[in-house]
Every structure is written in structure tokens, then in C-alpha cells.
Amino acid sequence: MDSNKKYWKGLEELNRTPEFVEKNKNEFAEPIPIEDLLSGSGLSAKTPRRDFLKALGFGVGAVTLAACQKVPVHKSIPYLIKPEEVTPGVANYYSSTYEGQAILVKTREGRPIKVEGNPNDVFAKGGLSAQGQASVLDLYDVNRTQDPKINGADAAWPEVDAFVLRELAAVAAAGKGIRIVTSTIHSPSTLAVIADFVAKYPTAKHINYDAVSYTGIIQANQNSFGKAVLPHYNFDKAEVIVSFGADFLGTWISPEEFTRQYVSNRNGKSLEAKKMSRHIQFETGMSMTGTNADNRYPIKPSEEGIALLSLYNAIAGAGLAGSKKLSNKAVDNAITLAAKELLAAKGKALVVAGSNDVATQTLVNAINSLLGSYGNTIDLNNPSKQYAGNDQDFAGFVSELSNGSVGAVLFLNANPAYDYFKAKEFTDALKKVRLKISFSDHADETALLSNVVAPNHHYLESWGDANAVEGYYTVVQPTINPVYNTRQAEHSLLVWGENPVKDYYTYVRNNWDKGLLAKAGLSGQKGWETLLQTGMIKTAPVAATSYTFSHDLNAVAQTIIDHSNSLVSGDSFELQVYQSVAMGDGKRANNPWLQELPDPVSKVTWDNFAAMSIADIQKLKYEEGDVIKIEANGYTVELPVLAQPGQAQGTISIAVGYGRQSAGPVGNNVGENAFPFYSYRNGTFQTTAIIKSFAKTGRISTLAQTQTHHSYEGRSVIREASFTAYKKNPAAGSGNEGEHKDYNKESLWDDHDRPVYDWVMAIDLNACTGCGACIVACSAENNIPVVGKDEVKRRREMHWIRIDRYYSYNDNGESEKAVTKEDEIAKLTNFDNVSVVHQPMLCQHCDHAPCETVCPVLATVHSSEGLNQMAYNRCIGTRYCANNCPYKVRRFNWFNYWNDSRFDNYLNNEHTQLVLNPDVTTRFRGVMEKCSMCVQRIQAGKLKAKIEKRPLKDGEIQVACQQTCSANAIVFGNRNDKTSEVYKALQSERTYYVLEELNVQPGIGYQVKVRNLNELEA
Amino acid sequence: MRSFSLIFKQFSRSVLLIVGFAFWGFSAAYAQTDAAKGETIFKSKCTACHKVDQIMTGPALGPQLTEETDDKYLTKWIQNNQALIAAGNPKALAIVKKFDGKAMTTFTELSDADVGNVIAYVRADWKQIQDDKAKAPAGGAVAEDKGPSELVVWGLIGIIVIAFIVILVLNKVVGTLERLLLKNKNLVIEDEPVAVDEHGNAVDKNALLKKILKNKKLVFFILLCGTIAMGSWGWVTLWNTNVHQGYQPVQPIKYSHELHAGTMKIDCQYCHTGAYKSKNASIPSLNVCMNCHKVVKTESPEIHKIYDALGYDPKTQKYDSTAAKPIQWVRVHNLPDLAYFNHSQHVKVGGIKCQTCHGPVETMKEVYQYSPLTMKWCIQCHKRTEVNAKGNAYYDSILAAHDKIKKGEKVTAAVLGGIECGKCHY
């Protein structure tokens, strides 16, 4: 029984707009001008016969001459003295650390080509975010600063050192302040270097500044429990999660870790144990976390505080002074129910809020205290050190700059000229500083204002360490010699601080020998080498203890209400500024892999936008893509409108991280900067604002949005069930109940033998959060080109794996009955309450593959291991296969992306090409490509087993998308092995095959999405 | 033509193999009881100073022991040569003189039977070497490889020549018969009056040409031959476009595989370390050369190229890395990027000898491309070569699974999917 619930990817698909219908009928987004050529001047034009013959003759002659070219001589240059550990053709893996998370760096012939999560990492256990995957490309960015600079001119390091030492001495002599501004540093060695520097220059001070700050939480914990720390959250221990605008699966604090924890209570294993957590999200814009919630309620920023107060009142059974009822009935009702559920799950409940407001976070602490979360779902004893930014310190620093008491500033991994909300005030004040040093490896906004640029190494060229959470120490080791004339920032600080140890490697060694190694019972050279191999040490965590909140909340409540009132003024719209999953705070804006990664929710690439609710857009008679001018907090931007289902009415959401002016050619002028919408209130940066005015500009800017590029013509591809239904019948919603149709009875195709291996995949829709890390991992592994905004608009993105995001209506969110009938859909106007399913879609490796049947040259054929293979050199580019593919997963190479000046921002230079995986061919113009199930990894895995003379083990071969998935949503393996994980997963009652009725026998089974809908009401 | 020569090669190879085996079997049966024991003793006691076929510290034992047939004397010599010399045995004194009075170690611990075994082994081994040498010119891979294809070409030319003669003769016969027929019918046609001037000959020649041109069959035949010749040339040229069999570029250093791999018998892997563990066999880095050439042949200008590349000064024996400049070898074997080839799969797993694809490298002064490296060549081998599954637990379940479907069939690489596109192209 197939569900007939209606799913849609975009409004144009839902409403079947004429443009959409027309566009979808055609193979190409833009008509190909063949008809013009044939009917117009093309053929009827008087091209004289002689001209034709001339052209023909010249053509043949030219081709013949070109073909006469001698075969080029290939040179082979071996090492002069080969390092012992390098075998050309064999990858080496080195453990290192990406932003506090233990990773493995794959190097080939001495150059890093891929970053993978370390399976022993405490955060994601082998998973890695899209940004982490993309970080390797930054190493090969030709726009990195290649030499140190003094006043904009290239200089040698000794000159820089002499200059800086002289200036620092002068500043110190004048008694003026020295400020080291960094984004959060949790590296013990770097902190020690800075401490040594401060000891040398007593007027120096270290200021932690995070563009996206968590000061609110840290300050609230200080106020509530006397501990100024960022707690370590345990989502895996939470049975009921209520989040107020915290995008904890996408961007909030430690998303990879939270994803792993969160999914562990919702994946197949948990479901089989009849356990599933419940997740309720209250938020303004649709976040990735919101798309995964069981119930999601759109609220305005101004309602957030009031909703939290109501929740507190409901849980505490008290009425805080000044608290009022929410005007939104549905939300009010939901809060009451959420309170009941939270109380029922006392000790296994968790409330989080994304706000950076101290009062709001204090209230959240009070709620969590009442729910007994401390010591269970929240760990204050082993705090997270991922963010330590102090907004107050930075604001103080800016006023110090203005009053001229600072003589020198050093910027390490901080770019306030771009991401500080009062950038103008900051840059003006900075002019008064005598010595400005930037360690940035790009000529970024702040580096351009500095008189000394001392470019830092990329982290893959560096030594170092990290301590992202209490008791977890990881090491950073270089995997390549510095590519450019750069120097590690710590090294520079050691030199300028006239430290007796000048070499940072020695410094790190000493620091570890002093105490860190001993924590894991290691010592000496041997201990250090062990550390380099394992990449980490973990000390036994302190037992998490319970904390009780025992302060008066009335003042807090008053602050919250004041804040909330300040966001409301008549009918004015409210603004929410958020981080997008791909771009984050914009530090990696020059990374084309991230720019081309479709946003998990909006599926927009290469841009930010103003997300508005559909009701508002209809009311205001806007169209998607209309550029509007938005003014708030004295700042104005012009951005295209995006109609976002689930967006709270009366609000606009804008992502930060865009609008960089000096990121590099890839990131410059992509979108608009939203940081200036921030404000500073009660000691922290606020991400919400009241919109003074907004209006259409009349311009239209089409967004490069991939969501409806690959259409199923309305066929049902998603199946879902409620947890209640699942508990009654595990096959609920999967279409497997009752008599199962044997589609294979009448088949056009012969069956293939798959005697030994049958490589298949199982994808759990209930585990996939839609983050898109797999897309970047696949790009890195399989040399997938970046095509740029214009080409994405033409539906020519090359990603082998995409994540389809489907919306569906709930009637009004209060019952689990979903709307199924067409006529009911027509009656609905409420787009606020939609539910979302993410579906990773890649080549299904069908056993009866329709693409294989239509290929005239047999370029795509089936293997005896169940793979649908693509021989690029056979392909002549008819694109019949793509037309015949029901899943629309085949991609056509329109250009030689690595040798075409139109794609300069990616691979079109020899230096960046070093990131390519040498085991995978780069495809040339005019051929089809698609997911190969990482056949190079399959072959390598088999070869390894053969060499070691042992059978292949299950799980030994991991495909790139599976490997990077923190949620373990993808399982790959051999279906013929009845003990394999993938076999077990496919045996699950929840398994269904997309478009099974076509009898193409797909090799990828999906598991039904299960939603834990409101049980109390049912 | 190519496939014919290939089949011929294969056939001749298998015949040779059978003959070789038969030979080996015979000689082995003949000397089995002694030689096996003798070999162990030889290897443990004698190889420090002796080789069967080469003079080392001591004489080459093969010829020495074959020429000298007096086993008793030999036994005594081997057990205690000092005693023989002291006793003034003339043979013993002669050999000592030949080797500048260098004494041989005494082996009094060896029994007469042991020594007999050693002698038997050395003789058998020497015979084997002699036999191999004798066989080599007749059936050595290189000489024989060119053979069939040349044979075919000459055969074809022969056939063409014979056909030409046959046609000429037939033509003549037909002409005579026609004339006879006409004569019989009294329709004798006199030869056309030949225009003869006083000089005569030149006109004659033209007439002959004219006559030939008038012979339509002959013209047709010549044209046919021309077309066939041009056609086959064109076909072969096009067919072999980008096939660089025999490619032998000049390398920056005159390195001889014949010397290192042939004469010195250095194992291929000593330098090409990657072959067993990587997709690349890899060209050795210069530090591998320096293992020997720090002391060997230090005066050679070719070796000095290595020193220069490394920035090594042989006088001070010091390296100057700033003067180092890597050597750019010219790649001989070029597979296109679109084909994935892994050495370890073939060498380590498949147990294939380097020579199977690279030819008799040990005889190459300069390396050339021995195999065509075409896809056809790959596939042919994959279709014919049985998978080397013995003692490899990886294949146990695989062979069992295959056995269920196709009982008893030879399991070649192709049967295990070795000719599917995605095995090499990804």
C-alpha cells in the first residue's frame, strides 16, 4: 500500500506553475538553439557550396595535421632520496586535527588529498562535516598569501621579525597596550605561547573573539552556577529534546557530535528496540535541525523569550512576574504539551536555545535544572572548549582602540573588519593603532588594513594540538611541507616574544612532555610517536554532577520581556540572522566546494537570500527572486527573496558568511554581508533585530537553486510512518505490509549473475539529517568539478550524490493525520506547518538498469558485482542514459572544467589540480558520469585482502559518502554476505526501494522515515 | 596477421615448454638421488666462492667438473686439497698455480658420498645450463617472436611472386593456344609491322610497354596487388596507431638492465620496490643506486651523473642537497590515464613474472617496450590466465561460489569479472 501523501520539493512543483511544467518537459533548462539554426538563417542562408567545401577541406586538413602530432614524451622523475615511508602509488594516512576533531589525512606521494574523520574521535567517531571535508582544498588555494608583507610589499621573514621587534619594543616602551585578537583557541600549546608572549610584554592581553558567539551561554552558566563554561551536551541521553532556535545538527557548537548522539536514539537499531527520542523545535527560519524535528513550530524572534517563560511556568507550575500568554494559540498549546512531555522524561530531557542572550540562556538553565538535566543530558564538569569568545572583551577592545590606548594588535584567525557588526567603527579605530599584524593566510578584510602580514600555515602544514572538550587532547601534525613562504603564527609569536624556544615543534613537544603525555601514561620519544599514530589522548571524564539553579528569575524574566518588546513595533517584520550549514561564519568563503554545496534546506548555492514565509510573499505580491531592500539596525542590504515553507510569518531570515569583499576570487561578492545586522545588548551580540523597512527594488536576481532540477514527475519516492504506527507494525508505511508484489515476474531483462559480491547500499531516511557532508566527501574522492553559479542555474551541477529535500503538509500540526488528498491540499494555505524528509539520491546501480539498455555504444554496462559501470572513454555523449534514468542521477560534462578559463575559480590551474585523487580519472567534455559506488575503493579493498591472503571483511570497504556520515545513515556492503551489516539493514521491515514498481531492481534500499509525533495527544 | 602471429607464438611457446619439461624430467630422473642432496650441500658450502657457470673467487665449477672425469681425485681435492698439494699432485699444483696460489677451504667433514652428490649436482646443473643455451637461439622468446610474423610476410610475398609467374605462364599459354586456334582456322594474323628506323631499339622498348599496357589482365593484376599492398599497409598503420611496441627512448643515464639484472642477477625488486605493494613498480630513487655505487665503478662518467644529480662529492663523500637535481627518466611504458593498472595485483597476487609483460629485461642494454600494452593484449591474457588462487584464502569462498554455477570450468581472470569495464576504467 503506497502512501499517497503529497511530497514536493519546491513551490513551483507544488503549484505546477506553467514555467515549471514547461521547463521540466525539456531536457535542458535553456532551449538549445537547434531549431533556430535549422529554420532560421542556418540552412536557408546562402552559404555557397564553395565556402562549404573550403571549410570542409580546411577542417579535414587541420584535423589531419593535428593527428600527425608526435606522441608526447613522458618524463618520470623519481625521488632523489625516497623517504622510507613513502611508496609511490600507496596512500599514507596521518592523524591530525580539524577544529578540535581528530581526523586522518590521506596523502599520496607527499600531498594531502583527502581528510577523513578518525574512527576513534570522541565527537563523530569517524564522521566529518562538509567544511572539514572541504578544508583540504584550501591548502591548494592559489590565492593564499604567498609571502610575508610589510605595508603591503613583500618582505623576507628576517625583515619582518626585525620590523615587528622594533615596533613592539617601541609600543611597550610607550606603555601602550598590545592586543592579541583570536577566534577561540583551545590548543594548549598555542595558549602557552600566547601566555609566554604576554609574560614578555606585560601590556599584552589575549582577546577571544568569535564571529558567531556563545558568550550568552557561558555568561549564563557563570550567573547560574558560577562556572563560566560552555557545557558538554549529551543528546544521546535525551529522550525528549526541545530546541528554541538552536540548529544543533547544523551549526550549533558541535554539530557533528550532536548529530551522532541525536541519531543514535532514532536510527534503525534504536527503532528495533522500540525506542525513539522526541524532538520539538521552535524556531523562526527553517533550519536543518528544524527539518528533522518531529514537531516544528514557527515562532517570531520576539516570541522566543515569551515561549520559554511559558515553558518555565508550565514546568515549574509557577507564574513569573510579567510573563504573558503567547498570542499564537498553536504554539501556546504546543508549549503546554512540551512541558508535559519534558516533565514525564525528567532526567532524560534537554532544552536548548540558540540565542546568545544571557537572560534567555539563564532561563534555559533554570528549566534544565528543574528537569534534572544537569549530570545527565548536560555535563558541566567536562565542559566544551570549542567556543570561548567573549563579546564584552571585544567591545571593550574596540573602545580601547578608539581612545588610542592600544599600540599594537595581532589578529590570529580573526577577521573583525568583515564580521564585526560595527565594521566601520572598528576600521576607523584601527587606524589609530601603530602596529597592526595579521596572521591571515589570505589577504582578507583585516589583513588589508594591517601593516604587517605574517601569513600562517594551513593547518595541514602545521604542528599543534587541540583540546576541544575537557579531557580530550588531539595532535596536529603537518602532512606536507609549507607550500608557500609562510610561517606558523605560533612560531612568529615565539620569535617576537623572544622565547628561548624558537621552533614551535620543539615547543609543542616540550609542552606535551611537561604533562599532557603523562595523562595517557605515555612518555618520551616513544610516547610522542604513539601519540602521532593515535592522534589523541583521552583522560577518564570527571563524573558529571547535578547542578541546581537557585536564583531569583524575576529580573531575568523582565529582561527577556523587555528584549522581546524591543523587537515588536506595530506590524513591522522581525529579522533573524543565522549561519548556513555550508558557509558557517564565512571564514571558508573562498572554498568552491562549499559555495556549490546546496544549502540543506533551501537548496540554494552560491548565494544568500532573504527567506520569507509564503503567506507574506503572497500578501505582498512578491515573486521568488525579487530583490528587496532591507533596513535594520541602520544597515541596508539588497537580497533576493526566497519563499521558505515553515518560515514564521512576519519574519525574514538572512544567513551570515556571505558578502565577503576580500576572501578571494571564489568568495568575493557572493551574496551580501549580514553581520552588520547584529547588535550589542547586555554584554552579548544579538542575532535578531527589528526591520525598519523593506521594499522591492524592481531588480530580479535568480537564485541558483537545485531543488527542482531533477524531477520524478510527481511519482512517490518517499515513504514515512509515525512511531506509533511503527510500534504496531514495523513495516508501517513501507509498502511492505500485506502481499508484496513481485515485480520481477514479467521482466524485460535477463538476470545478472552475482556469484560473489553484490555491492549494495542501505540508506536510513530516519538517520539522514540532510547536512550534505557526503556531497563534499564525494566531490573530494571522485574529482567532481565545480561548475559555478551560472551553470547551476542551467541545471548542470555535477554532484554524483544529491540530497533531495521534500516538503509535505501537515493539516495544522496538531494531529498526526497528514494531508493526502489533492482537494484537501488545494484548501490549505498554511505553509507554516510542513514536515520535511531528506533523501540522499545517487545512482541506484539497478540490476535492470534502464540506462544500460539505451546506450548505443555500451559505455554503461553491468558488472558481475552488481555495479552499474561507466566507461568514460566509450561514451560518445548521446545522453540517452540520462533521459532514461528514472532517478535522474546521471551528469553530463558540458565542459573540460579543469581546462577552461570560465571555471578559473576551481581546478583550472596546475596547483589546485594537486588535490585530485590520482586513482580516479578526470572526465572530459562530452561524457556522462555518475556515482561509481567508489569502485576505486572496492578494488583497493579487494586487493588488500588478496595481498594479505584473507577473505574480505564486512565493513572493510567504506564508500566516501558513508565514511563521512556522522549519522551513519549510509551502510554499504556485500548483499551476498548474509552476515553483513548491509544485508541486515536491507532485511529490515522498513526497507523499500524507490520506484520499485518500475522493476529496475535498484541496488539501494531506503528505510522509511519515522516521526515520533505527539503521543500525549494521540 | 597479428593474431595469427600471437597464436603461433603461444603455440610455439607451449611446444617449447613441453619439450623443456620433458628434458628436465629426464635429467632429473637420471640424477635425482644424488643431485638433490648435492644441491643443498653446494648451496651451503660452496656458493661463497663458486658458481656453476662463472668464475668467482674460485673457478667456474660447471666446466671444471665436467672436464675432469676422475671422481676420486676430485673427491680428495674437495675433502682436503691441502693434502693433495703437499703430496705434489701435478693436477692440484696446476690449478693452484692458475689461481695465484689462493688456497681453497678444506671440507674434511664431507663424506665421499656427499662429495659425489655435489659433483653430480654441479654436472647436472651445468648440463642444464648448456642445454638451455643451446635451445635459446632456436626458441628464445625474442628471436622466435619476430620469426612468425616475418615468415608470414615472406610467405605472402612468395605467394604473390608465384601467383605472378603462374599468371604470366598461363597468359603465355593462352596466347599460344589462341594463336594455334587461329592458325588452324587459317586466320593467321601476322605480327603488326614494326616501325623500325635505323636505330631500332628505342622504338622496340616502347612497343613492349605498349604491349604490356594493352594486356588488361596484367594491368588489373598489378593494380590489384598495389591496392592490396597499400590497403594492408594502411590497415596495419592505423591499427597500430598509438601502439608503441618496441619503443626504446634514449635515457639520461646509460643504465643497462643486461648488466644489472642479467649478469649481476640483481632481483628486479631490489630497485623496483613498488611492484609488490603498489600500483607503480616505481623507478628507484638514487639512494638505491648509491647502495652499491658509492664504491662500485666510481670512476664511470655515467655514475658521475648520479653523483651530480644527488649533489654528492665522491672525494669528500658528502651530499650537498642544494646542488641536487632529480633525474628525468623517459617513461617507456605509458598506459593512458584512463586505464588503471596495479602492479601488486599482478605480481604479488597473480604471481606473474616481470618478464611476462616486460620481456627479457635481463638481456636489454636499453629497455624497450616489449608488449603492445593494448587493451586487446590485456584482455587476451585475462581470458587465458588461470587465477593464482592456491594458498590464498581470499579466493576460497569465491571459487566455491563459482563452482556452484560452472562446475569444473577453468577459472581465469575473466571468469572472475576481469574483463569488465569497471575493473580498469574508473
Q: Tens of pLDDT along B354-389?
A: 999 999 999 999 999 999 999 999 999 999 998 888
Of B242, B334, B401, the CB nearest to A74: B334
B398: domain range? 375-426
**CA atoms within 13 Å, Cβ hemisphere of A676:** 19
pLDDT band at B190 (very low <50, low <70, confident <90, very high): low
Task: Find cell 663523500 and name the residue.
Answer: B317
**Rounded-to-integer distance, Cα A893 and Cα A870, Å:** 13
Does residue B68 lie within any of the structural domains? Answer: yes
B318 interaction partners in chain A (CB closer than 8 Å): none
DSSP B422: G
> B107 and B20 share a domain?
yes
**Mean pLDDT (chain B, rounded):** 80
Q: What is the pLDDT of residue B95?
A: 77
Query: What is the per-residue pLDDT across A522-577, written as a single tens digit (0 to 9) for each?
Result: 888 898 999 999 999 998 888 888 888 888 888 888 888 888 888 888 888 999 99
Chain B residues closer than 8 Å to A874 by CB: 421
Least confident of A57-71, A796-810, A919-933: A57-71
C-alpha A201, offset from chain centre: 40
In whole angstroms, give the CA distance from residue A452 to residue A495: 15
In a domain, B169, yes or no: yes
Q: What is the rounded distance in angstroms from the CA atom of residue A955 to the CA atom of residue A972? A: 8
Largest CA distance in chain A: 96
Q: Regarding predicted confidence, which is higher, B72 or A837?
A: A837
Phi, psi of A379 (to 5 degrees): -115, 110
CA distance A624 to A705: 11
- Per the structure block, which three cell numbers stand in for A647? 518560515
CB of B309 less than 8 A from some CB of A:
yes
Nearest to A920 by CA among A934, A900, A941: A934
**In one letter, which amino acid is A182?**
T
Closest CB to A945: pick one of B287, B394, B422.
B394
Surface-to-core class of residue A188, CB atoms within 10 Å of its CB (0-12 exposed, 13-18 middle, 19+ buried): buried
Q: Given the DSSP bridges, would you call strands B312-313 and B318-319 parallel, antiparallel or unpaired?
A: antiparallel
Q: A621 and chain B: CB distance < 8 Å anywhere?
A: no
Last residue of a domain, one of B139, B167, B184: B139
Q: Are A113 and A106 in contact (CB under 8 A)?
A: yes
The candidate with the shortest Cα–Cα distance to A263, out of A836, A841, A963, A966, is A966
Residue among A75, A873, A950 whose CB faces B393 most closely:
A950
My answer on whether B28 and B85 are in the same domain is yes
| Interface check A162 vs B, CB under 8 A | no
What pLDDT score was predicted for residue A179? 92
| Distance between CA atoms of residues A116 and A95, nearest Å | 9
Nearest to B344 among A76, A88, A947 (CB): A947
**A83 and chain B in contact, CB less than 8 A:** no
H or E element: which one contains B319?
strand B318-319
CATH 2.40.40.20 domain position(s) in chain A: 569-705
Domain with CATH 3.40.228.10 in chain A: 215-373
Q: Is A695 exposed, middle or buried (0-12, 13-18, 19+ CB in 10 A)?
A: exposed
Q: Does B420 touch chain A (CB under 8 A)?
A: yes
pLDDT score for A825: 47
The cell numbers describing B257, all together, are 638492465
In this prediction, residues A282-290 reach a mean pLDDT of 92
How many Å is the Cα radius of gyration of chain B?
33
Residue B46 CA to residue B58 CA, distance in Å, equals 10
pLDDT tens-digit series, residues A697-721: 989 999 998 887 777 777 778 888 8
Residue in B closest to A71 by C-alpha: B242
Chain A residues with CB under 8 Å of B288 CB are 82
Question: Are the beta carbons of A861 and B284 separated by less than 8 Å?
Answer: no
**Residues A594-606: what's their mean pLDDT?**
93
Res A817 pLDDT > 90: no
* Record: contact A869-B344, CB cut-off 8 A: no
Same domain, B102 and B168: no
Considering only A203-217, A225-239, A497-511, B124-138, which range has the smallest mean pLDDT?
B124-138
Give the three cell numbers for residue B244: 608503441
Using CA atoms, how far apart are residues A232 and A944, in angstroms rounded to an integer? Answer: 40
Which set of grid coordinates corresponds to residue B273? Answer: 620496490
Residue (of A715, A804, A735) closest to A992 by Cα position:
A735
Measured in whole angstroms, the distance separating CA A949 from the mean position of its chain's CA atoms is 40
Residues of A in contact with B337 (CB under 8 A): 921
Per-residue pLDDT, averaged over A215-230, amounts to 91
A932 to chain B: closest CA residue? B426
pTM: 0.82
Please judge whether B326 and A77 are an interchain contact, meaning their C-beta atoms are less than 8 angstroms apart: yes
Evaluate whether A109 touches A86 at the Cβ level (below 8 Å): yes
Q: Is B182 on the interface with A (CB under 8 A)?
A: no
Give CA–CA dist A106/A128, Å, rounded: 14
Q: Which of B283, B394, B403, B419 to mutate to test the interface with A (most CBs of A within 10 A)?
A: B394
Q: Which residues of B touch A756 (CB under 8 A)?
A: 397-398, 401-402, 416
3-state class of A803 per DSSP? strand
Q: How far is residue A105's CA from residue A114's CA, in Å, rounded to a whole number?
A: 6
> How many domains does chain B divide into?
3
Please provide residue B377's backbone torsions phi and psi, each rounded to the nearest 5 degrees. Answer: -65, -45
How many residues belong to chain A?
Answer: 1018
Judged on CB neighbours under 10 Å (0-12, 13-18, 19+), A529 is: exposed
* Residue B121 and residue B16 share a domain: yes
Under a CB-based contact definition with an 8 Å cutoff, are residues A838 and A795 in contact? no
Residue B202's pLDDT band (boundaries 50, 70, 90)? low
- For CA atoms A398, A399, A402, A404, the dihedral sign is negative
* pLDDT (0 to 100) of residue A812: 45
Query: Which of B421, B423, B424 to mutate to test binding with chain A, by most A CBs within 10 Å of its CB?
Result: B421
Cβ contact, residue pair A755, B404, below 8 Å: yes
Q: Please give the residue that has the higher pLDDT: either A327 or B268.
A: B268
Sheet strands (E) in A905-1003: 928-929, 970-974, 991-992
Neighbours of A392 (CB within 10 A): 13
Rounded to an integer, the average pLDDT of B155-183 is 88
Q: A830-846, pLDDT tens digit by residue?
A: 667 788 999 999 999 99
Residue among A74, A864, A935 minimizing CB distance to B331: A74
Give the confidence band of A330 by pLDDT, cuts at 50, 70, 90.
confident
Classified as helix, coil or strand, B345 is helix
**So what's the pLDDT on residue B183?**
83
What pLDDT, on a 0 to 100 scale, did the predictor assign at position A822?
A: 47
Residue B254 lies in a domain: no
Q: What is the mean pLDDT of residues A956-967?
A: 93
Alpha helix stretches (DSSP H) within B42-111: 61-67, 71-87, 90-98
What the block records as the C-alpha cell of B136 is 635459446
Measured between CA atoms, how close is A83 to chain B, in angstroms?
9
Say yes or no to pLDDT of A1018 above 50: no
Cα torsion A989, A994, A995, A1001 to 10°: value is -80
Asked if residue B173 and residue B117 are part of one domain, the reply reads: no
Residue B24 has pLDDT above 70, yes or no: no
Q: Both B179 and B94 in a single domain?
A: no
Interface of B with A in 319-348 (CB under 8 A): 324, 326-331, 334, 337-338, 340, 342, 344-345, 348
DSSP helix/strand/coil, B249: coil
Q: Is A79 on the interface with B (CB under 8 A)?
A: yes
On whether the CB atoms of residues A86 and A110 are closer than 8 A, the answer is yes
Query: What local confidence, expressed as pLDDT, does residue B228 receive?
Result: 95
**Per-residue pLDDT, B144:** 39
Question: Domain check: are B16 and B124 in the same one?
Answer: yes
Interface A–B counts its CB contacts (< 8 A) at 148
Instruction: Please answer yes or no on whether B285 and A947 come within 8 Å at the CB atom.
Output: no
Lowest mean pLDDT among A245-254, A414-423, B7-16, B275-284: B7-16
B70 and B35 in a common domain: yes
Backbone angle region of B141, left / alpha / beta, with phi > 0 → left and psi within -120 to 50 → alpha: alpha
Q: Which pLDDT score, from 0 to 100, does residue A37 have?
A: 62
* Helix (H) / strand (E) containing A960: helix A960-964
Residue A942 C-alpha cell reads as: 579487494
- pLDDT > 60? residue A178: yes
Domain final residue pick, B186, B207, B239: B239
Query: Which among A75, A73, A76, A57 has a CA at the least distance from the CA of A65?
Result: A57
- Tell me if B402 and A87 make a contact (CB, 8 A cut-off): no
Q: Report strand pairing: A759-764 vs A970-974.
A: antiparallel
Instruction: Look up the CATH number of domain A569-705.
Output: 2.40.40.20
A994, A997, A999, A1003 alpha-carbon torsion, rounded to 10°: 20
pLDDT for res A81: 87
Instruction: Report H helices in A783-854.
Output: 789-793, 822-827, 850-854
CATH number of the domain encompassing residue B94: 1.10.760.10
**B32 domain-assigned:** yes
- Give A636's strand partners: A631
Residues A487-514 have a mean pLDDT of 91
Residue owning grid cell 544485508? A983
Q: Chain B contact for A932, CB < 8 A?
A: yes
pLDDT band at B117 (very low <50, low <70, confident <90, very high): confident
- CB-CB: which of A89, A874, A952 is closest to B279? A89
Are B310 and A71 in contact (CB < 8 Å)? no
Q: With an 8 Å Cβ cutoff, are B425 and A87 in contact? A: no
Which one is the CATH code of A215-373: 3.20.20.10, 3.30.420.480, 3.40.50.2300, 3.40.228.10? 3.40.228.10
The contacts of residue B368 (CB under 8 Å, 6+ apart) are B246, B247, B248, B332, B359
Are the Cβ atoms of A81 and B310 closer than 8 angstroms?
Answer: yes
Can you tell me the ipTM of this complex?
0.84
Nearest CA in chain A to B334: A74
CB contact under 8 A, A71 and B393: no
Asked if residue B130 lies in contact with residue B53, where contact means CB atoms within 8 angstroms, the answer is no
The closest alpha carbon to A574, from A603, A607, A600, A610, belongs to A610
Q: In terms of domains, do B198 and B215 share one?
A: yes
- Return the DSSP state at A126: T
Cell 539553579 locates to: A549
Per DSSP, the residues of B126-149 read HHHHHHHHHHHHHH-HHHHHHHHH
> Any chain B CB within 8 A of the CB of A85?
no
Chain A contact for B246 (CB, 8 A cutoff): no
Tell me which of B242 and A677 has the higher pLDDT: A677
Q: Do B112 and B224 reside in the same domain of the chain?
A: no
Question: Does residue B186 lie in a domain region?
Answer: yes
Percentage of chain B beyond pLDDT 90 is 19
Q: Which chain B residues are closer than 8 Å to A76 by Cβ?
A: 283, 328-331
Q: Does the domain at residues A708-1011 carry the CATH identifier 3.30.70.20? A: yes
Instruction: Please check whether residue B90 touches A, CB under 8 A.
Output: no
| Amino acid at site A766 | N
Answer yes or no: is pLDDT of B71 > 50.
Answer: yes
pLDDT at B188: 58
Ramachandran sector of residue A425 (left: φ over 0; alpha: ψ -120 to 50; beta: rest):
alpha
Q: How confident is the model at residue B189 (pLDDT cuts 50, 70, 90)?
A: low
Distance CA A945, CA B394 (A): 6
Q: Suggest the residue from A70, A73, A76 to mutate for an interface test with chain B (most B CBs closer than 10 A).
A: A76
Of the residues B191, B222, B239, the one at which a domain ends: B239
Cα distances from A933 to residues A422, A957, A960, A990, in angstroms, run 48, 11, 9, 23
> Half-sphere exposure (CA, 13 Å, Cβ side) for A97?
26
Nearest CA in chain A to B308: A80
Chain A, 906 to 925: residues with Cβ < 8 Å from chain B are 919-921
Q: How far apart are CA B295 and CA A664, in angstroms?
A: 54
Is residue B357 situated within a structural domain? no
- What is the percentage of chain B residues whose pLDDT exceeds 70? 81
* Domain-embedded: residue B354: no
